[in-house]
Amino acid sequence: MAGVSGVRYGNLNYKVWEYHEKDLYKQSEDWQRIKTKDCPLFVIGDFNQSRFNNQGYGTKRVRSILTDLLKKNDLTCVTEIDFSTNFLTIDPRRGKIRNNIDHICISNSLINDFEEYSVGAWDHFTEDGKYMSDHNGVYIEFKIKNAW
């Protein structure tokens, strides 16, 4: 949660989303340290923010911070799309489509080597409405130019 709710890190005196912001900067420092031109970087996981149309879960500020840090690290978030039109369906318990907060970010140097790619998602519940997770899944399929 990286302090999104403010409760988990209350004893550290962080306000809601404050620790999350701090953690974004810390993670960006890690990305800087581990990326090289010879080895593309994938940053994948729970980002605690919807990125499509900059609406939904998260704050404007943390979205802006992440956008700037991705740009600074030459990464593109390939899951900043509306998954509700082609992939995700209405949650039978909540009556709405979940906002995607899990993302896949990739070094632009690798994306430039893609001949093609597509991203998608799957629901966090089974066809009969059983929850498998509290997050939907996301994926990427890609083909690299001149691959073996």
Domains of the chain: 38-144 (3.60.10.10)
Confirm if 97 and 88 have CB atoms less than 8 A apart.
yes
Residue 10 has pLDDT above 70, yes or no: no
Q: Which residue has 């740009």 as its token pair? A: 71
**pLDDT tens by residue, 100-123:** 999 999 999 999 999 999 999 999
**pLDDT tens by residue, 64-96:** 999 999 999 999 999 999 999 899 999 999 999
- Take residue 73 and report the two structure tokens written for it: 């690290």
Distances in Å between the Cα of 148 and the Cα atoms of 40, 143, 144, 145 are 18, 11, 9, 9
- Take residue 84 and report the two structure tokens written for it: 């509700």
Burial of residue 123 (number of CB atoms within 10 Å: 0-12, 13-18, 19+)? buried
Tell me, what's the pLDDT at 3?
65
Name beta bridge partners: 40. Answer: none
